[in-house]
Amino acid sequence: MKYIELAVGAILVYNFVLSRFLGICPFLGVSKRISTALGMSGAVITVMTLASAITSAISRYLLVLKFEGKVYDLRFLQVLLFILVIAALVQIIEISLQKLSPKLYQALGIYLPLITTNCAVLGAATINANVGRSVLDATLFGCFSGIGFALALVLFASLRERLDLAAPPRACAGIPLALVTAGILAMAFIGFSGLC
Amino acid sequence: MNKSSRSVMTFKNGIHPVYHGKELSESAETRVAPLLARYTVPLAQNAGKPPEVVVNPGDHVKKYQLIAKASGFVSANLHSPVSGTVKGLVDVPGPMGVPAKALEIVPDGLNEEMEPLPAIDWRTAEPKALLDRIAECGLVGMGGASFPTHVKLSPPPEKEIDTLILNGAECEPYLTADHRLMLEDPESVLAGAAVMGRILGIGDRVFIGVEMNKIDAIHRLNEKAEAYGVNIIPLKVQYPQGSEKQLINAITGREVPAGGLPMDAKCVVQNTGTAAAVADAVLRGRPLVERIVTVTGSVVKNPGNWKLLIGTPVIEAIKLAGGVTEEPGKLILGGPMMGFAQKSFEVPVSKNTSGILLLAQDQAVNYVSGNCIRCGRCVQGCPMHLMPCAIAAAVESYRFDLAKKHHVMDCLECGACAYVCPAKRPLVQHNRRAKAEIRRLTAKK
Amino acid sequence: MSTIVLVSVIVMGSLGLLLGLVIGFFAKIFKVETDSRVDLVAELLPGANCGGCGKAGCADFAKSVVSGENPPGKCPVSSAEQINAIAMALGIDAGGGFKKRAVVRCGGDIHQVARKINYNGVLDCASASLIAGGPKGCRYGCIGMGSCAAVCPFGAIELVNNLALVHPEICVGCGKCVSACPRGVIQLVPIESTVHVYCNSPEKGPEKRKNCKVSCLGCRKCEKTAPEKFKVEGFLAHVQYDAPVLPTEEDVEAVKCPTGALLTAARHKEIETNDPEFSVNE
């Protein structure tokens, strides 16, 4: 039950993109095609899950050190450490993707290294640390949050593929219309509020 | 099957045009046209390769004499409609707006005819002999596509054919040529159907589908049908009932697979006019040189049906009908749904011209097309179950790949979508564009 | 106090070292050989992805340049300096003579060409040409609905009086318009050429004359005046673009084309843009 609640909360109610407004950059950047959106979603789910696991372990066991009877509170280093871990993870994914799927690597382009600064990833890590979740809970939360991000991204990409066929006024075409669409999509997700 | 207990057969979707315009000419008996001063017989009257000319300028030809010989399997012979002198090859306006080559023949008024070919007893003759006769007489599909009949009747051996359907639906508004033919010469139609059934080796599954608005023709055919072993099927009045894939669906309940041909549903579909021409060729030994054409429209003085010789300029046909009562707005060869608007009155009648339609100026309205309002009427109307609105949206943003995904290649160009569209969007034109573009792209590869 | 600093440094340092080692390990197993020269060339290319070189885009072209398949000069968009820079960087020959401009070989604007039918359909050249051969009387000339202008990535084509007009100073000769035109009116010509025959119809002279006032009648006047520069094939004159000397304004004056189909690009533009009512006959 607890995990269902965690899943519904992370995917629908507190969707990272549409409720918390984190990770907007890749949300707008790689949502032109469903295929690239799916690739990006996969990458983000991987990074978020791994990052949540590692960062929650760090924040639980490394940030408050007990050494020779003394307590060293290193929580001021939290953001610094998290970024370090995420950056390393992204680097690893980038290296392996370049080898394993050069096509996806090309399609994601600049947005792949930018996952490093995707605030959704850092946000998930920070929320985990603040709430004080166990490593298992945090990992699941990271995974669900990633799925929530993927859901929003793919939904939005499908909408944009349809919008591509429309002929809006020139001033609205492209990003302006995409932003309006994102707003309406976010409003739709308000419907889930209060679910858990 | 108990015929009285089941409702009239039809297919799914399609439209019901409000005004049929058939009353203008359906009761007018077919008349024979007088001889004109000159005929321009177009060379390319069949789908596939045009035939090769076998006469020289200055030659004297008799009526029914071969003037152009088929230049391959998918090609059809061409015969002189009159006796007279060949003037030579001339450029005439083609029905598609592109000039076409035609043989100009000036009749001498002597009306010399070739000896008719020996009649064949079709009940005992070899199918091959019947097929050769059909090819010799230059028969093509007279419904519109003008595909050589002998090609259609010789399906590849691996395809099993168990049904022959004759299209007497004549679902196009205004046209009554097939109606009059079935009414006035039912025996030819039935005999032609039986001959084709023998060629295909079909015993009892020979059908003639006739729309219910031609109830008199259904009665006339039924009187004789038994003797020829042909079944007459009344069909609901619905457009495009006469399209071969819809006809197959209505009569047999089968679906032709996407991108497939009628033979993939074990069927062959022929026009009733073609059947009558088959009877002419086999029983009377006469090649195809004339056909019944409906000359009609609200501005035509005496709309009616005429037996016109191939190569008659359209303007002469209109003169036969008494000319026009006012300046016409549009000239269409064929019916108003799928016919082709013409630039010139000099277009000659060819083997597939079923109608000459003159619309009044207030009928040829220039519509202003609006945006798609996503009402989905085109989807409801499409007999091929496509989504014309989605295809049009894809074409408008040059996404032909997307149009192909939406199966635009299965479009019949029947015009049902454009007819029902409340925003008057040029949906058929978009589909044609997409088809042309996709064909071009695949040809490039 | 100093201990917390020490602990922080140790924690951060060791973690950084660890992650660095992991990345290093991954970089080792997933090593990809890339040619840095491809990126270099791609950077020097304009990045318009117009496809004028025949490749899928600038990155694709860069690959073909590095592999020696295409000379850098094949890029129609880059300026001479840019191409030289690429050639210098790779130490290869720039390759030249590829510079082209598009020209619409039709002078039949709305005032010159008879409209034969009342066209009521999609305002797109390719769609219109499917209906009864197009709305204009001439079946070979510019339809004037701007399919070429729509595909031009550089906005070099303007529609004036229902006739497409290429602005030579903007056009880079990528050739997108050539494939977009259903009539094949647009031709790529050497950048130096200034004189063109503004007619594309191979029909007989009198036929053309019926439809268009500025068509080439095939009178051979130009061919007689300067046989090495003009050639009449069938009923249509062509400028010999591969001739050693290209025709100039003097040639046009010497020829005195009776219909005005032979013009300099500048004069053609002047006629179409400045004087919409202009007609050679009046």
ipTM of this predicted complex?
Answer: 0.80
Q: How far apart are CA B61 and CA B81, in angstroms?
A: 9
- B130 and B282 Cβ atoms separated by less than 8 Å: yes
CA distance B96 to chain C (A): 5
Position C98 scores a pLDDT of 64
B111: left (phi over 0), alpha (psi -120 to 50) or beta: left
Does the domain spanning B3-25+123-283 belong to CATH 3.40.309.10?
no
- B232 and B224 Cβ atoms separated by less than 8 Å: no
Beta strands in chain C (DSSP E): 100-104, 157-160, 163-166, 186-190, 195-197, 230-233, 236-239, 262-264
Burial status of residue B401 (CB atoms within 10 A of its CB: 0-12, 13-18, 19 or more): exposed
CA B62 from chain centre, in angstroms, equals 27
- CA C72, C75, C79: angle at the middle one, nearest 5? 90
Tell me what the mean pLDDT of segment B205-214 comes to. Answer: 94
Dihedral sign from CA coordinates of B192, B195, B200, B205: positive
Position C275 scores a pLDDT of 57
Position C96 scores a pLDDT of 61
Which residues in chain B are closer than 8 Å to A164, comparing Cβ atoms? 397, 399
Whether residue B4 has pLDDT greater than 60: no
Share above pLDDT 90 across residues of chain C, in percent, rounded to a whole number: 10
Residue C121 at interface with chain B, using a CB cutoff of 8 Å: yes
Q: Which residue shows structure tokens 């197959």?
A: B248
The contacts of residue C189 (CB under 8 Å, 6+ apart) are: C100, C101, C102, C103, C196, C239, C241
Residue B342 at interface with chain C, using a CB cutoff of 8 Å: yes
Residue A165 at interface with chain B, using a CB cutoff of 8 Å: yes
Q: Return the exposure string of B134-171: e unless at least 16 CB atoms fall within 10 Å of the residue's CB, then b.
A: bbbbbbbbbbbebbbbbbbbbbeeeeebebbbbbbbbb
Position B5 scores a pLDDT of 37
Whether residue C277 has pLDDT greater than 70: no
Share above pLDDT 90 across residues of chain B, in percent, rounded to a whole number: 78
- Which of B70-84, B124-138, B289-303, C55-69 bottoms out in mean pLDDT, i.e. has the lowest? C55-69
Contact C133 B366 (CB under 8 A): no
Mean pLDDT, all residues of chain B: 91
Position B1 scores a pLDDT of 38
Segments making up each domain of chain B, as ranges: 3-25+123-283, 33-116+287-360, 377-444
For residue range A84-100, list pLDDT tens digits in order: 888 898 888 888 888 88
Q: Which residue of A has its CA nearest to C1?
A: A72
For residue range B368-416, list pLDDT tens digits in order: 888 899 999 999 999 999 999 999 999 988 889 999 999 999 999 999 9
- CA B245, B246, B251: angle at the middle one, nearest 5? 105
Position A108 scores a pLDDT of 75
Which residues in chain A are closer than 8 Å to C4, comparing Cβ atoms? 72, 74
Segments making up each domain of chain C, as ranges: 36-90, 100-274
Q: Which residue of A has its CA nearest to B390?
A: A165
CATH number at C100-274: 3.30.70.20
**Closest alpha carbon to A165 in B356, B400, B351:** B400
State the chains in contact with C (3 or more Cβ–Cβ pairs under 8 Å): A, B
CA distance A3 to chain C (A): 31
For residue range B98-126, list pLDDT tens digits in order: 888 999 999 998 888 999 999 999 889 99
Position C95 scores a pLDDT of 66
CA distance C120 to chain B (A): 6
Tell me what the mean pLDDT of segment B284-309 comes to. Answer: 94
Residue A91 at interface with chain C, using a CB cutoff of 8 Å: yes
Residues of chain A with pLDDT under 70: none
Residue C8 at interface with chain A, using a CB cutoff of 8 Å: yes
CA distance C58 to chain A (A): 14
- C182 and C173 Cβ atoms separated by less than 8 Å: no
Q: Which residue of C has its CA nearest to B342?
A: C132
Tell me what the mean pLDDT of segment B121-142 comes to. Answer: 92
CA distance A35 to chain B (A): 15
Q: Which residue shows structure tokens 């609006």?
A: B370
Q: Which CATH superfamily is domain C36-90 in?
A: Electron transport complex subunit B, putative Fe-S cluster (1.10.15.40)
Pick the CATH number of B33-116+287-360 from 3.10.20.600, 3.40.50.720, 3.30.1370.60, 1.10.4160.10: 3.10.20.600
Closest Cβ opposite residue C23 in set A74, A92, A98:
A92
Position C282 scores a pLDDT of 32
Tell me what the mean pLDDT of segment C14-42 comes to. Answer: 84
Tell me what the mean pLDDT of segment B56-78 comes to. Answer: 93
Contact B433 C117 (CB under 8 A): no
Which residues in chain B are closer than 8 Å to A32, comparing Cβ atoms? none
Contact C132 B429 (CB under 8 A): no
- CA B345, B349, B355: angle at the middle one, nearest 5? 85
